[in-house]
Amino acid sequence: MMGIFNAETLLYIFMAVSVCMILFNVGYLGARRGRSAALEREARREAKQIAQAVAALEEPEDAAGRALNRHADYLKKSLAGTLNLMAFNAAMERVPITPARGVYVNALGGVFAALTGAYRRRNPTVQAYFAYTLSLYGISVKGTALGEKIKNDVASPSMYLRENSFNALCRMGDAPALADALAYMSRMRVFHMHKLITDALLTFTGSHDELCAKLFDKYGELTDGYRLALINYIGYKSGAYRERFFALLDQEEANKEIRIALLRYFRKHPFDKAESALLSALSDDDPGVWELAAVAANALGVYDTERSRAALCAALTRSNWYIRQNAADSLLTLKISQADIDAITATGDRYAIETLRYKLGERAPELAPALAPPEAAPVPLPEPVRLHAAPVPIEQEPIRQLAALMPPPAPVFAELDAPPAVSERKWTIEDLESFVRKLEELDAPYTPPYAVGVAELRGIGESYA
């Protein structure tokens, strides 16, 4: 009775927990649907307010100014709530992109500056959404408390707040402020993925030449991760840093990732002085820095010189797959010649020839027949298994008896007379070993099915023993 009672109690508990879970899910879905409906209502209301403000811009200047001031006062109160801020962003997506919309967005700077105090005290997630809103419109907040907040938030422990704040700075188009913010992040030892930094810098709305200059001035203050992001960004936007980056390439303290970024820069922006450095990186056979050799093989595809062609042909024989692939791609980019094909064929390196044939088939099939496939080396046949160094004389009777079960080719028994009928004797392992020794002694041309190993013969002997 006690066991039944305990089981029933557990069953009731399980049912109660299941009902609670169902009620929670139903309540959550209902609340979410209600929040979505409320957000849609607010978005429609905000869209109506925005449409009226945009339409007022077409009125005389005084009337338009008064209308915008009234609208700004309304937004300062309305957008202090997170739901209303989300509704505002949804409403702005419905406003057609026109010159009037641009004027309206530029007038929002004072509104968002006034909201700084309201959002400064919120949790990091809400602050991150506020920074995201600023990044959507590229509103300039230079010289305001909001501008200082955004520059401080780029070093926030919250990754979302840090990322959105940095994106907002990039959309504001203020090159000095952005360079100072990047140096501040580096100084505070904030880890932020260099790929995210580069992607954000590419969205900068101001002069990229000015930003490149401001960022390079800060190069000495940056840690390696930020230097890497800076080099990648400048590589996308400017070829005016060849001399300065070449000087950095010679610095021994530069880490491997930075050197790789510099080598890639000299592929996108060729520089005659950099060819020797690329050739040196390609010739380095240290397996610990194979990435440098692989990137150098790729970069040499824009340096059409005899030295580069010879080095790329030699790189096809390297053991690293990436180096061979990049070298083949670069040779094809340089319009590989028949002399290059002949030189690679002459090496006799099977991997080099196969790599080039594959790339020719992909990018230049008309040249593929010029590269003859290497001849396959003959595969040696295995030597027959010999149990003893010298043949051991044995009697013929066991062989005759075994032949009745597994008759070998006729040449083997030509010297042993015709095998008799099957004997009632069971065959032992010794019989089988004797059979193999006799075949070796006769050196008969038996066929592959009978060239079985000793282990298989032992298995047969055990089955008959």
* Residues 446, 385: Cα–Cα separation, whole Å: 13
3-state secondary structure (DSSP) of residue 310: helix
Count the neighbouring beta carbons within 10 Å of the beta carbon of residue 311: 22
The count of residues in the chain is: 465
Which pLDDT score is estimated for 325?
93
DSSP character string of 250-298: T-TTS-HHHHHHHHHHHHHS--TTHHHHHHHHHH---GGGHHHHHHHHH
Q: What is the pLDDT of residues 284-335, one digit of tens each?
A: 988 888 999 999 999 999 999 999 999 999 999 998 999 999 999 999 999 8
* Residues 318, 290: Cα–Cα separation, whole Å: 10
- Of residues 241, 313, 262, 306, the one with CA closest to residue 283: 313
* Residues 293, 350: Cα–Cα separation, whole Å: 21
Q: Rounded to the nearest 5 degrees, what angle is found at the Cα of 210, between the Cα atoms of 206 and 212?
A: 105
Residues of the chain with pLDDT under 50: 1, 385-395, 407-425, 444-458, 460-461, 463-465
Which pLDDT score is estimated for 408?
45
DSSP character string of 314-371: HHTTSS-HHHHHHHHHHHHHT---HHHHHHHHHH--HHHHHHHHHHHHHH-GGGGGGS
CA quadruple 224, 225, 226, 231: dihedral positive or negative? positive
* Residues 105, 43: Cα–Cα separation, whole Å: 17
* Residues 211, 175: Cα–Cα separation, whole Å: 5
* Residues 397, 406: Cα–Cα separation, whole Å: 14
Which pLDDT score is estimated for 58?
80
Question: CA-based diameter of the chain, in Å?
Answer: 127
Which pLDDT score is estimated for 318?
92
| This prediction's pTM | 0.71
Residue pair 295/279 in contact by the 8 Å Cβ criterion: no
